[in-house]
Amino acid sequence: MPRKVILDLDPGIDDAVALAMALFDPRLDVVAVTAGGGNVPPEQATANLQALVGILDPPRLPRLGVAPDDTVRPEKPFNMHGTDGLGGIDLPRARLHGGHVSEKVIWETIHAHPREVTIICLGPLTNLSRVLARDPAIVELIGEVVIAGGTAHGQGNATPVVDFNFYCDPPAARHVIREPMAKTLVPLETTGQVTFGFDLLDQLPPESSRAGRILRGMLPHALRAHRQILGREEICLHDVAALVAVTNPELFERVTVAADVETGGELTAGMLVIDRRTVRQWRPNLDILTSCDVAAVQDCILRGLAAAGAGT
């Protein structure tokens, strides 16, 4: 049976790549996709998500959540995703369907499929935190939460010690990490191992496919942004590597830790703090994927992109 998943995302180029792969992966039943602000303002995230799903036209159309417009986004240190969030491809704004806010769609989907759904968080944790605040008992009904972001050793991207997703909403990150449900974190130190060079452009689905057109439109921007902003000749697709952690967990090393999230520090708000004391005082509450078989994950990604191309 395909695994029921919700993708909560802030598209963003890597979010969009993960979305395309997930929608055409026969191992996944994407029951809902929910937008949140982060890489782009909330309304842009919703527009991007609706346009992507409309163009990709997957065999099973997921429910769609609208990003809440009352979220406060911090100043971004730099923009890797372009003004539209998708590398400047400026997709036509197709109002696909629905109009329910993301936290409502997540809540309804979990209740429709108790204990069956994995929530894959590819953006700030605002939406999931709001679901938990609205209905604390729902922790009993969530199958698992897999989170892209956070840092295992404090090697951040948004700040020296914080990943962008936790940086955008530290209280939400703390709320989710503290909740007693099965949680797996795929931190920057792991997703950052999975890189691609300019030759990725030769390995994408053909322009004749809708997924190929979207990927070939977005990824050159990602490559340029990594070179011009980060001075790197390779790109990380953090959210895509996190998706592979769901489909192919055997490719990742897993440890269980006791962790919390700083919310007040001027320099550290959003930082994941792990209790590594010899005599640990905190209770274990989080699995972290500390490393992966990089070549195998890269291969999974290329095969997943090919499947998206073949399906469109």
User: What's the sign of the alpha-carbon dihedral 112, 114, 115, 116?
Assistant: negative
Give yes or no for residue 14 binding ligand RIB (CB under 6 A).
yes
Beta strands in 134-282 (DSSP E): 144-148, 183-186, 195-196, 235-236, 252-257, 259-261, 272-274
Nearer to ligand RIB by Cβ, of 110 and 158: the residue is: 158
Least distance between Ca ion and beta carbon 9 (Å): 6
Ranges within 87-106 binding ligand RIB (CB under 6 A): none
Nearer to Ca ion by Cβ, of 119 and 209: the residue is: 119
Quickly list DSSP for 97-165: S---BHHHHHHHHHHHSTTTPEEEE-S-SHHHHHHHHH-GGGGGT--EEEEE---SSS--SSBTTB-HH
CA distance 62 to 34: 10
Nearer to Ca ion by Cβ, of 8 and 287: the residue is: 8
Give yes or no for residue 163 binding Ca ion (CB under 5 A).
no
Give yes or no for residue 15 binding Ca ion (CB under 5 A).
yes
Phi/psi at 216 (5° precision)? -70, -20
How many residues line the site for Ca ion (CB under 5 A)?
Answer: 6
Nearer to Ca ion by Cβ, of 105 and 242: the residue is: 242
Choose one: 82-90, 122-130, 191-199, 240-248; the region binding Ca ion (CB under 5 A).
122-130
Give yes or no for residue 240 binding Ca ion (CB under 5 A).
no
Give yes or no for residue 12 binding ligand RIB (CB under 6 A).
yes
Give yes or no for residue 196 binding ligand RIB (CB under 6 A).
no
Nearer to ligand RIB by Cβ, of 8 and 287: the residue is: 8
CA atoms within 13 A on the CB side of 221: 20
CA atoms within 13 A on the CB side of 167: 22
Binding residue (CB under 5 A) for Ca ion from 37, 54, 62, 123: 123
Give yes or no for residue 164 binding ligand RIB (CB under 6 A).
yes
To which H or E segment does residue 17 belong?
helix 13-23
Give yes or no for residue 269 binding Ca ion (CB under 5 A).
no
Is the N-terminal amide bond of 85 cis, ω within 30° of 0? no
End-to-end CA distance of the chain: 23
Binding residue (CB under 6 A) for ligand RIB from 63, 130, 221, 238: 238
Q: Which residues bind ligand RIB (CB under 6 A)?
A: 12, 14-15, 39, 122-123, 148-149, 157, 163-165, 188, 238-239
Q: Which residues bind Ca ion (CB under 5 A)?
A: 10, 12, 15, 122-123, 239
